[in-house]
Structure 1
Amino acid sequence: MIDLPLSALEVAMVQNGTRAVDTLRDTTEFARRLDALGYRRLWYAEHHHSPAIGAFPPVVLTAHAAASTRAIRLGSGGVLAPNHAPIMLAEQFGTLAALHPGRIDLGIGRGPGTFHEPTARALRRGAGPTTDEEYRDDVAATLRLLLDEVALGPLPEPWLLSSSTAGAALAAELGLPIAFAHHIRPDNTLAALDHYRAHFSPSRWCEHPRVLVCVETVCAETPQEAARLAGPMNVIKASLLKGESDTPFPSPEEAARHQFTAQEEGALAAFLAHQAHGTPEMVLRRLTELAAATAADELMLVTPIYAVADRLRSYELVQQCSVPPTSPQR
């Protein structure tokens, strides 16, 4: 059994041939069901200009889900600091925290949220990529504004998202809990978390190091079904390996017809070895190993499965392997 709290990351994949509004409808059902299952938190990721991922602002999805659920914590995983003025982040998430006390998280990340350079520049009003110093200043300013200018009552819980040692160093410096993107850069996980714990400075936000690890998880009754459900995301990953970011999110049937090169198959197999795919027993074993290796306080599952019913079934199967309760802290 998994004895850590379980959470979820929603990346709002848009199924090939469907409309974005259909994905939005699915996100509502998804949030309600995870709330009923007892998952601790549900975060929304910021993406732009992608045919496979909806450009839905995390703050909007968080507000809608908070009004549609009862107990699960909700927030950004993450909202990307280079794309937003710190005062806007503080006001938006401060307002949400006041409306839904004890249920709102503000996960902050650095990336542009797109591989499309004109879109990235438009998000920053023509400015180039943010520097390390600019990013640090933006995060610090957001935290300061939450305390100094958002006098609405309960505050959101801030997290720093990271996929590198540099991000872990900033989380340690600012005394923030860290959410590590093991589902993106698994090779960086252990070194980054070691650095975070070794250099952590207690703060008003967090007295001790606190670690959440996000892992790609695809769970089904058989290994074959899990592999079939993982097929669409494998097509997206193979495209990204070639520098292509305009591939639609295919159905499992379309993905089954895709021809991968030997190099792509090798890269996908290497990535999969760090994630949690398979039957409940296989997923349980992998998540238990990852929890032990990282000494994580919490696991967040990202499950990029085509159909919402299959995606929810994956979360149900994993939840059945957890030690209750995994319900949100109030």
Structure 2
Amino acid sequence: MGDAPTRPPLSLLDLALVGEGETAADAFANSVALAQRAEARGYVRVWYAEHHNMASIASSATSVLIAHVASQTSSIRLGAGGVMLPNHSPLTIAEQFGTLATLHPGRIDLGLGRAPGSDRTTMRALRRDERSSDRFPDDVLELQGYLSGETRVRGVEAIPGAGTNVPLYILGSSLFGAQLAATFGLPYAFASHFSPGALLDAVALYRREFRASAQLETPHVLAGVNVVAADDDEDAQRQFAVVRRRRLARFLTPGRSLTDDEADEVLASPQGRQIAQMMHYSAVGTPDVVATYLAEFARHAGIDEVMTSHVSPTIDQRLRSLDLLADAIDPVTA
């Protein structure tokens, strides 16, 4: 470990969380507040992830949410982290993100994943073909063709979309995504904030196999980290305990609340420890502790940009966490 690790650029993953006693409308207002604060504090980009049939996450219609937030910010990049492409036709996504890029030029990213972002029943409700994931590489190329104006489908253009060259990112938590991003010469985003296991191997494979493309000359890797920064360590640890208990309830007892004692008992079980392990990469504590953790994480993983997921229970705590980290990274912008 170095004495003064280089501090990487920071971005923000916002799940549009619906907190206890809140509505989706509250979550969207919170997303605007987070993006405005991230813009003011020098974060590179804000991404929203496509999830379905999850009561605590309101970011199912990513392009619509991006449009709303873009209209109330001015410079920060906004994007999907990501669109689950097998749920959609490439042409539809090209038109949606082509529209966004036309309305907000130079500000739109498009991260692509091949998972359903849902359970199997919801997947069927989305009219998703279970074999559609197998077409993911071809769908990425088709989408890229629409956005570049060099369509791969004769007689079909994305209008708007053609020529916008919205930058594509491949999302993943396995070696498959790393290999695909390397082969296509696209930036790679690893979901280490909830699936940490293959991070090091995936990044190593991506850098080793990367081929330059029209979009990207050299490899670029983002990776996710859960963040809870607070004014004192005791408060940060208390917030993180709440987050862990809520995540446990989301996975193991959907629709039913657990007391703190019940949640802690389950967290101590093998199944609970497995869920807790999903949050292995978490920076929790005072601002300097969090900033140092993120710098060491970037060095350890060999990544270029950290996608922070500020997971504190309330919007005020998330905004405070975002601010405290920005202060620690670059006090000049405070």
Fold-level similarity (TM above 0.5): yes
The 1-side partners of 2:194 and 2:34 are apart by 23
Q: 1:318 to 1:155 in 2, by over 3 A?
A: same
The 2-side partners of 1:310 and 1:180 are apart by 26
Structure 2 equivalent of residue 213 of structure 1: 223
Q: Secondary structure at the match of 2:227?
A: strand
Structure 1 equivalent of residue 139 of structure 2: 138
1:46 is matched by which residue type in structure 2? E
Q: 1:249 to 1:40 in 2, by over 3 A?
A: farther
Structure 1 equivalent of residue 299 of structure 2: 292
Structure 2 equivalent of residue 119 of structure 1: 122
Q: 1:86 to 1:152 in 2, by over 3 A?
A: closer
Alignment pair present for 1:230 and 2:240: yes
Alignment pair present for 1:13 and 2:13: no
Conservation of the 8 A alpha-carbon contact between 1:236 and 1:247: no
The 1-side partners of 2:289 and 2:257 are apart by 26
Structure 1 equivalent of residue 106 of structure 2: 102
The 2-side partners of 1:266 and 1:119 are apart by 27
- Unmatched segments (≥5 aa) in structure 2: 150-156
Considering only aligned residues, what root-mean-square deviation do their CA atoms show, in Å? Answer: 2.4
Conservation of the 8 A alpha-carbon contact between 2:48 and 2:59: no
2:296 is matched by which residue type in structure 1? E
Q: Secondary structure at the match of 1:71?
A: coil
Measured against aligned partners, the alpha-carbon deviations of 1:19-68 in whole angstroms (never above 9, x if no partner) come to 21111121122211111112110001111111111254110111111111
Alignment pair present for 1:72 and 2:76: yes
Select which of 100, 111, 130 maps to 1:128.
130
Higher relative contact order (CA 8 A, sep 6+): 1
Q: How many residues matched?
A: 318
Measured against aligned partners, the alpha-carbon deviations of 1:258-310 in whole angstroms (never above 9, x if no partner) come to 44332256446645553211111221221111111122111110122221110
Q: How does 1:267-306 map to 2 (within 5 A)?
A: 267=274, 270-306=277-313
Q: Secondary structure at the match of 1:74?
A: strand
> TM-score, with normalisation over the residues of structure 1?
0.88
Q: How does 1:183-262 map to 2 (within 5 A)?
A: 183-239=193-249, 242=252, 244=253, 246-247=254-255, 258-261=263-266, 262=268
The 1-side partners of 2:318 and 2:125 are apart by 33
The 2-side partners of 1:81 and 1:207 are apart by 24
Q: 1:265 to 1:83 in 2, by over 3 A?
A: closer
The 2-side partners of 1:325 and 1:178 are apart by 30
Structure 2 equivalent of residue 175 of structure 1: 185
The 1-side partners of 2:128 and 2:171 are apart by 25
Alpha-carbon shift at residue 223 of structure 1 (Å)? 2.1
1:169 is matched by which residue type in structure 2? Q
Alpha-carbon shift at residue 314 of structure 1 (Å)? 0.5
> TM-score, with normalisation over the residues of structure 2?
0.87
The 2-side partners of 1:298 and 1:234 are apart by 25
1:128 is matched by which residue type in structure 2? E
Q: Alignment identity in percent?
A: 39
Q: 1:247 to 1:289 in 2, by over 3 A?
A: farther
Conservation of the 8 A alpha-carbon contact between 2:12 and 2:46: yes
Q: 1:237 to 1:306 in 2, by over 3 A?
A: closer
Q: Secondary structure at the match of 1:230?
A: helix
